Amino acid sequence: MKHRIHFDFKSLNFKLWAYFALFSALLMIVLWFLQIFFLTTYYQEMKIRETVRMASIIEKQYGKEGFLEKVYEFSITNDMYIQIQTPERIILPAPTEERIRPYIYVEEMTIVKRALLRSNELSVSVIIPEPRTDTNTLAYAAYLDSSAESPVILYLFSPLYPVSSTISILQRQLVYVMIISLILAFVISFYLSNRITRPIRNITSSAKKLAEGNYGIVFTGGHYTEIVNLADTLTYTSYRLEKTDTLQKDLMANVSHDLRTPLTMVKSYAEMIRDLSGDNPEKRAAHLQVIIEEADRLNKLVSDMLTLSRVQSGALPLEKSQFQIRETLESLLQAYSLICEQEGYQIQLNCREDLTIYADEAKIRQVVSNLLNNAVKYCGEDKLVIVSVFESENRLRFEITDHGMGIPKDEVEQVWERYYKASTNHVRSTSGTGLGLAIVKEILLLHNAKFGVLSQTGKGSTFWFEL
């Protein structure tokens, strides 16, 4: 079976190759155009400029010692014939044997002198054709000394050789140059286009695997900064997707476990009431109390999951207002008065009365409440929790401090994840849902707040955020 070659004209590979080849072809065309069609004009312009420059140098040397020898040297090195007309004679700056010859370029000198005398300029240049030799002559005349009645005139004659033979040579040379250049351009463009697109094709292949659920893929970016950055970003995305997938599975496992436990308890105690304690008021009341507590736990778990989901999806918008933070905190701490009286906990509040903040009061209450619950749950033997609010660089900083076992350094960043449990001896109490700090994180992110944890194992932890 024959395989047909298929060109994808929209591919980056083909377009890079085509653009590079087209650029090379245009470059060759421009070079050909300039060399062939403008060579004669360019040659004449350069000759005129060179003649004017030499005339300027001779004018500066006029009257100095060794003037004629210097002029003769210029004539030889620049392929020019130089004459100087004084009131007495015409000087040919040439060796002694040359001086016996009559001066040449008589007709040309007459033509250019007439043009100089008719002109108001100090110098003129005329291109004079020579039909016999097919060679033009550039005739240049300028005043060396115009103060006298019969001024001293400098004449420079430079033959303009025909460039047709040169153009013919250049044409043949440019044909070879164009063929070689185009071949090199096609080869180099093909190599570069493949070199650039190969890592992109590799990234595409790896992305397909990622789409199929194969996480943890490392993308490679080749030799170019932009593609390397793209590969690194996709590698990070792969890592985050893998982590998200793991968290999702953990979430399902934890939610299933947390739902199954109270449901089992409710069913078990309901059966006990039915079979054993239905006629015993005291036992029946105790069993019903367990059912009520487990139902409350189920309600709190579902409520926290709903809150977290709504905050993460943006379905729970912020309702900001200006309020005094101390008044809000004092109202919140009243809910902890019973546990402080019965179990000996102390909650110390350090906050000035004049501190105000612009935020969603209900959600900030929930943040502080969740952090307080966490601090009370894991506080140390002193049962002391310190709540501090103070100004720091035009922001309000909240700190909730306990003196418990603390969090290991390698686990500090993980405490904000759902259902995270530190590797210390602390075990999440049955009254918790494991979603408190995750809710705190999402609410603070909505407020564009800075937050974090300062913790030392064995000395306690300080959860903080700034608004």
pLDDT (tens, 9 = 90+) of the chain, 467 residues, equals: 444 545 566 676 777 777 777 887 788 778 777 766 666 677 777 878 888 888 888 888 777 777 777 777 777 777 778 888 877 777 766 554 444 344 567 788 888 888 888 888 888 888 888 766 667 788 888 888 766 567 888 888 887 776 666 667 767 777 777 788 778 877 887 777 777 778 878 888 888 887 777 777 788 777 777 778 888 888 888 887 877 777 677 667 666 666 776 777 777 777 777 777 667 777 777 777 777 877 777 777 777 777 777 766 666 678 889 999 999 999 888 888 878 888 888 999 999 988 999 998 888 988 998 899 888 888 888 889 999 999 888 889 999 999 888 888 877 777 877 666 554 444 434 455 567 788 888 888 888 889 999 888 888 899 999 99
Same fold, 38-162 and 317-466: no
Burial grade of 147 (CB within 10 A; 0-12, 13-18, 19 or more): exposed
Taking only the tens place, the pLDDT of each residue in 415-429 is: 877 666 554 444 434
**Residue 383 CA to chain centroid, in angstroms?**
51
Q: Which residues of 91-111 are buried (b: 16+ CB within 10 A; e: fewer)?
A: bbbbeeeeeeeebebeebbeb
Give the CATH superfamily of 317-466.
Answer: Histidine kinase-like ATPase, C-terminal domain (3.30.565.10)
Burial (CB < 10 A; 0-12, 13-18, 19+), residue 132, is exposed
- Decide if 404 contacts 379 (C-beta within 8 A): yes
Write out pLDDT tens, residues 188-211: 877 777 777 788 788 888 888 877
Q: pTM here?
A: 0.46
| Chosen CATH of 215-312 out of 2.60.40.770, 3.30.70.120, 3.40.50.720, 1.10.287.130 | 1.10.287.130
Give the chain's length.
Answer: 467
Counting Cα atoms < 13 Å in the Cβ hemisphere of 375 gives: 30
Do 383 and 346 contact (CB within 8 A), yes or no? yes
- One CATH from 3.30.450.20, 2.60.40.1220, 3.40.50.300, 3.30.300.280 for 38-162: 3.30.450.20
State residue 398's pLDDT score: 94
Count Cβ atoms below 10 Å from residue 78 Cβ, excluding itself: 15
Domains in the chain: boundaries: 12-36+166-208, 38-162, 215-312, 317-466
Residue 367 contacts residue 443 (beta carbons within 8 Å): yes
